[in-house]
Copies of this chain bind each other. A is one copy, B any other.
């Protein structure tokens, strides 16, 4: 193979070259077919191969999520960075909507009044609309904990929760709680994760459905 140029200027070429490098570096690991594109896209986004080891999935999560996306479900994200990062053309093709309520006026007022995170109040609001069948939690452990509580109370029944809050206070514990909740999940164990990781996972699912890759 010829050595590639110093900097590849073609956007699609850059992505396929990257995915080739990732596949090569992952070739010693056995990653089940249905998770391969998700794990690769997370590594593409973070340049951190540890994610291959921290990734966990509920056995039905991918199938349920794809089904929900093909039924034009609503998706809730806990940060506006996630909303900014998810592929708009893919959402449009599938007729899906993606929302985040942390800057919603009602939610901001409620959080201030109660002295709790806007993330919790955002989840409470999304839970009132059953069209939200997929949740992407990239930042707030409190949002993920609240979601597990609402599930236990029978108030929400998501087809998928992407549980990837990052951090040092409650993140690992909230993901353990998700794993034990009964909710179909994709998650990253421990402290790591973040909005870009959540975006990568959701985009991987979307791209498979619209056959972008």
B-binding residues in A (CB < 8 A): 4, 6-11, 14, 17-18, 21-22, 44-48, 79-81, 83-85, 115-118, 120, 141-142, 145, 166-171, 173-174, 190-196, 199
Contacts and interface: CB of A to CB of B under 8 A. Distances in A.
A115 B4 CA distance: 17
Nearest to A111: B11
B196 A194 contact: yes
A190 B44 CA distance: 14
B10 A46 contact: no
B115 A14 contact: no
Contact of A167 (B18, B83, B145): B18
A47 B9 contact: no
Given A4-B169, A80-B84, A84-B81, A191 B47 contact: yes
Contacts of A45: 166, 194
Given A9-B142, A46-B194, A21 B120 contact: no
A105 to B, nearest CB: 15
Given A14-B170, A167-B18, A168-B18, A193 B6 contact: no
B167 A115 contact: no
A164 to B, nearest CB: 11
A166 B7 contact: no
B120 A168 contact: no
Contacts of A81: 81, 84-85, 195-196, 199
Contacts of A116: 9-11
Contact of A46 (B7, B166, B173, B190): B166
5 contacts: A9-B115, A9-B116, A44-B167, A79-B84, A195-B196
Contacts of A190: 47
A156 to B, nearest CB: 18
Given A81-B85, A194-B196, 15 more contacts: A4-B169, A7-B142, A7-B169, A7-B174, A10-B117, A14-B142, A14-B167, A18-B168, A22-B168, A46-B166, A46-B192, A47-B171, A47-B192, A79-B85, A81-B84
